[in-house]
Amino acid sequence: MRIGILTSGGDCPGLNAVIRGAVLKGDRVYGHEFVGFRWGWKGVVEGDLMELPRHRVRGLSKEGGTILGSSRTNPYEAGGGPENIQKVLDKNGIDAIIAIGGEGTLTAARRLSDDGLKIVGVPKTIDNDIAATDYSFGFDTAVGIATEAIDRLRTTAESHARCMVVEVMGRYVGWIALHSGMAGGAHAILIPEVPASIEQVCEWVESVRDRGRAPVVVVSEGFHFPTMEGAHSHKGLDPFGRPLLGGIADLIAPMIEERTGIESRATVIGHIQRGGAPSAFDRVLATRLGIASVDAVQAGKWGTMVALRGTDVVDVSITEATRDLNAVPRRRWDEAALLFG
């Protein structure tokens, strides 16, 4: 078979490891050929591709980013759609697609699969917000980067007796904030799944100050106070119509300072969480998922996504993976609440 691979959506540590795992397994075991679509779904729609022989992927597991490039392109727009995409595949002799991406990418993959295209999905997101898989690669790396940032900001907070409000990514789930906040010893962790008022946050901050400590607050970009209509967004929408989040820390820090009198600063870690080499955990998980995706293609399991369940990699329906079932990390938040202060 001749298989096309794409990476779509935000870049993520471990993407190259998936590509490597898929190509090496497919070439050595099944004798498949591989091509890569450049710039995600955009390359599929436009027929922009590159050959992926085995020697091209050697040593890729430690490399960050993606050698194929990525974009947030909707394959149903700008000349796309299942019929036009199938023509591109037929013209280039491509039998199937391995789509590596997050919520938007996999939603598009589900629609195209329902419309008859042969697609297998691989979950990718630092946010860990894809249903049907326990973890997605990129998450572990992002948590490590955020934790290091919290550790560094704590020294500044202590030096100046300031309150530091650290904003991390995550969209509408709080996994990065929760794990990095617990690891970094934050005094408050604000996540979308657990409501908290500004009064409660200030009470936590003042309690820390009264004990002679410098407060550190970690907030997920999707968090919002009950008095707000929804998550803070001032950057417009992405090509899939989803709000681009970010900036909630810049709202919270002045509110804390005004109510408590404690000098407060906001730091938005942003895209640093996506960059650089993947952690060892993400390299291994991404490689396993890449290998499993080729097995799924070989077995003709179209419309499925490879996923991590416990310690096993299994096949699940992309429909199951893209339903609105973002896991609520409530239990771990309750554990974190015991550590506040």
Enumerate the known binding-site residues for substrate.
125-127, 162, 169-171, 221, 265, 271-274
Report how far residue 122's alpha carbon sits from residue 138's, in angstroms, rounded to the nearest whole number: 12
Task: Tell the burial category of 255 from Cβ atoms under 10 Å away from its Cβ (0-12, 13-18, 19+).
Answer: middle
Helices (H) and strands (E) in the chain, counts: 11, 11
Instruction: Work out the angle between the directed axes of helices 139-160 and 175-184 (0-180°, nearest 10).
Output: 50
Residues in the annotated binding site:
10, 72-73, 102-105, 125-127, 162, 169-171, 221, 265, 271-274
Residue 321, amino acid? A
> Which residues fall within 8 angstroms of residue 5, CB to CB, at 6 or more apart?
19, 22, 23, 34, 35, 36, 37, 52, 68, 97, 98, 100
Helix (H, G, I), strand (E, B) or coil at 229: coil
Beta strands in 136-275 (DSSP E): 163-168, 188-190, 216-220, 264-268
Residues in the annotated binding site for Mg(2+):
103
- Residue tagged active-site, from 48, 95, 127, 282: 127
User: Would you call 127 a catalytic residue per the annotation?
Assistant: yes
Give the tokens for residue 152: 């560094």
**Which of the residues are catalytic?**
127
